[in-house]
Amino acid sequence: MRFGIYTLDDFDVKGKTVLCRVDMNQPVDRASDSLKSIQRITACAPTLKEMSDKGARVVVMAHQGSDIEYKNFYNTRPHARVLSELLGCEVKWIEDVCGPTARDAIRNMKDGEIILLDNVRFCSEEQTLFELNLKLTHEQQAHTQVVEKLAPLGDLYVCDAFAAAHRDQPTLCGFEQVLPSAMGRLFEREYCVVSELMEKPEHPCTFVLGGSKISDAFMMMETVLASGAADKVLTGGLVGQILLASQGKEIGSGTRGFIEKSGYGEFIEKAKGIYEKYADRIVLPIDLAQVVSGARVEAEIGAVPADFDALDIGEKTAKTYREIILASKTVFANGPVGVFEKRESALGTEALFHALADTEGYTVVGGGDSVTAAKQFGVTGQLGYICTGGGALIRFLTGEELPVVKALRHAAKAFPKEKKA
């Protein structure tokens, strides 16, 4: 047991049916019925292999896209193919989630077999709008269709989906109410990494915050500054632009227009209060970049034209941030500092990721866009740890107890520990 949660070391899974929730959500290429990335599948594969090798009957549950992220709302057939290749054995894809076909497939499994059920979010109770509007308690989630249909067929529930640990849905928080439960190896590893990042980072510790999850970013900023975990917070992207606006700096009508249109204008006043309290530890961009007629154009803060439309931090800011990162013993980075997908506005993010690769300090990178950037700039193998979670990681670093962690801790208290044979 770790962090008040059972691990796989606490259970003998031989001959047991294990319902295992993972996060294999990846960008989809519908035309070729394939995935554009397999990073999350690769990350959870060791847990599945370990249980299979120990003789468990492994029933894998996963989501792909959602009712909100509809462009990637797809079946899990491509995931089964990838898993089969990674594990070197057939992972049967079941075109059902909790209906008769799925239940029959589970009943007919043999020891060591692995099956992958279809996208759990094809069930309405697993969808984001269902979660946000109904706000079911964990006890109520135990009485949803997916849990009531599948739980009687399982001996153990394992959650290896740290990337989805901030979600409050039945396949993530419902099974723990009715089955002995444990965290998988990926979940355990990521929980350890982020816990140490918050509790005992080696100083100086620097946080690099960018991206577009503004509410979470400012919550995290306040938490790590108030706790003393962060010695410096380097800001970029919308986070940096909002902070600059809060200090009355000209960021350009295009930049301000995007902030307002995206519904982030309310954060300008909040950012003002945070900066006034922690000005000595928050580092703002000293220049910005926009793209005009396909060419990159930079402007220093204080000389930004009124019609500017910022898409990146400037070269001077990137150089300053690099120096701070290289002098740090611990660096956490979440979110790009510019529109790195386009060459003209990628300089800032590329410079920072190369700094993360070059520093002798321990680096932790989290969030889907950050993972993509690390791969794009060829530094994946030079980073200390890449966390599969974005939203979950940010919520954890705000000090909030994640719903899945709460559910797993409940299971540890509700069900007596099984003695291994």
70-103 pLDDT tens trace: 778 999 999 999 999 999 999 999 999 999 999 9
Give pLDDT, residue 17: 98
Q: What is the pLDDT of residues 325-336, one digit of tens each?
A: 999 999 999 889
Give yes or no for residue 349 having a pLDDT over 50. yes
* Cα–Cα distance for residue pair 123/103, rounded to 1 Å: 15
Give the E-state strand segments of 11-68 in sequence order. Answer: 17-21, 28-29, 34-35, 57-61
The amino acid occupying position 23 is D
- Which of 213, 312, 234 is CA-nearest to residue 278? 234
Give pLDDT, residue 276: 96
Residue 381 CB partners (closer than 8 Å, separation 6+): none
DSSP secondary structure code for residue 5 in this structure? B
Query: How far is C-alpha 219 from the geometric centre of its chain's CA atoms?
Result: 16
For range 100-117, the mean pLDDT: 98
DSSP secondary structure code for residue 99 in this structure? S
Is pLDDT larger for residue 218 or for residue 68? 218
Is pLDDT larger for residue 227 or for residue 57? 57
With cut-offs at 50, 70 and 90, classify the pLDDT of residue 126. very high
Give the E-state strand segments of 162-259 in sequence order. Answer: 181-183, 205-209, 232-235
Q: In whole numbers, what is the pLDDT of the chain averaged over residues?
A: 94
Give pLDDT, residue 392: 83
Query: What is the pairing mode between strands 17-21 and 57-61?
Result: parallel
The beta-carbon contacts of 355-361 under 8 Å, at least 24 apart in sequence, are 355/321, 355/322, 355/325, 355/326, 356/208, 356/325, 356/331, 356/382, 356/383, 357/382, 357/383, 358/326, 358/382, 359/325, 359/326, 359/328, 359/331, 360/326, 361/202, 361/325, 361/328, 361/329, 361/330, 361/331
What tokens does 148 get? 């009531």
With cut-offs at 50, 70 and 90, classify the pLDDT of residue 421. very low
Q: Left, alpha or beta for 399 (phi > 0: left; psi -120 to 50: alpha)?
A: left
* Cα–Cα distance for residue pair 421/241, rounded to 1 Å: 58
Whether the ω angle into residue 204 lies within 30 degrees of 0, i.e. cis, is yes
Residue 242 in contact with residue 273, Cβ under 8 Å? no
Give pLDDT, residue 211: 83
For range 61-70, the mean pLDDT: 84
Query: How far is C-alpha 165 from the geometric centre of its chain's CA atoms?
Result: 9
With cut-offs at 50, 70 and 90, classify the pLDDT of residue 105. very high
Give the E-state strand segments of 78-196 in sequence order. Answer: 91-94, 114-117, 156-159, 181-183
* Cα–Cα distance for residue pair 398/418, rounded to 1 Å: 34
Residue 164: how many other CB atoms lie within 10 Å: 25
- The β-bridge partners of 291 are 296
For range 152-180, the mean pLDDT: 96
What is the full DSSP assignment across 140-155? HHTTSHHHHHHGGG-S
Is pLDDT larger for residue 309 or for residue 134? 309
Q: What is the pLDDT of residues 365-377, one digit of tens each?
A: 987 788 889 989 9
Q: What is the pLDDT of residues 232-276, one digit of tens each?
A: 999 999 999 999 999 999 999 999 999 999 999 999 999 999 999
What tokens does 374 get? 């690390």
Q: How long, in residues, is the chain?
A: 421
What tokens does 402 get? 């994640």
Ordered domains of the chain (ranges, CATH): 8-190+401-414 (3.40.50.1260), 203-360 (3.40.50.1260)
Give yes or no for residue 285 having a pLDDT over 80. yes
